[in-house]
Amino acid sequence: MLRAIARASRAVAGVDARRPTGRAIDARRAVGTFVGAESEELAYAPTKKVKFEPTEPTFMTQFTLNRANAKSTMEGAEDAERLVARLIGMLGGSLKTFYVTQTGAFDGVCVYTFPKNHDSRTFTCLLRSSAGYDRIETTKLMASADAAMCAKAAREVEKQLKK
């Protein structure tokens, strides 16, 4: 059973048996200029039958202010929004929304896009160091159309595994 799954996964990934590492050859990477972590996402992408439209990675970050900054936001929450927008802009991203929360475990939430996934980690490091936020949680968001395409891709891979 395990051998059948391994053979099917090699067939789906397009593994070259002549390569000593058995690494996948991915012709889909020829489209675009992917580098570093971004290219890793295509390593297990579905075949060309399932076509994902290009989208910028979208993230939601929830944050809690430390005690010193909580006092300063009582004077102007707009300053916090401007700082977050500036940090995101400096990294090449775009702030979509910024909210101060009234209830819940966090003091605020922002939604933003970046051209590359790893920029969100850089942003959270900057939030901690320069903006003085204590607790930060970031979630990568996906549009419902992309989620539908993921389901279609999963069905395709499942069919390959059953062969």
State the Cα–Cα distance between residues 103 and 149, nearest whole angstrom: 34
For the chain, how many residues are written? 163
The correct answer on CATH 3.40.50.970 for the domain covering 58-141 is: no
Which of 107, 118, 19, 44 has its CA nearest to residue 98?
107
As a dihedral over the C-alpha atoms of residue 145, residue 146, residue 151, residue 156, rounded to 10 degrees, the angle is 110
Tens-digit pLDDT string for the chain (163 aa): 445 544 544 444 444 444 444 444 444 444 444 455 555 566 555 566 767 777 788 999 999 887 776 666 666 678 888 989 999 999 999 999 999 888 999 989 999 999 888 899 999 999 888 777 889 999 999 988 888 888 988 888 888 888 7
**Under 8 Å between Cβ of 65 and 139:** no
Task: Give 111's strand partners.
Answer: 60, 97
**Model-wide pTM > 0.95:** no
Domain ranges of the chain: 2-53+143-162, 58-141
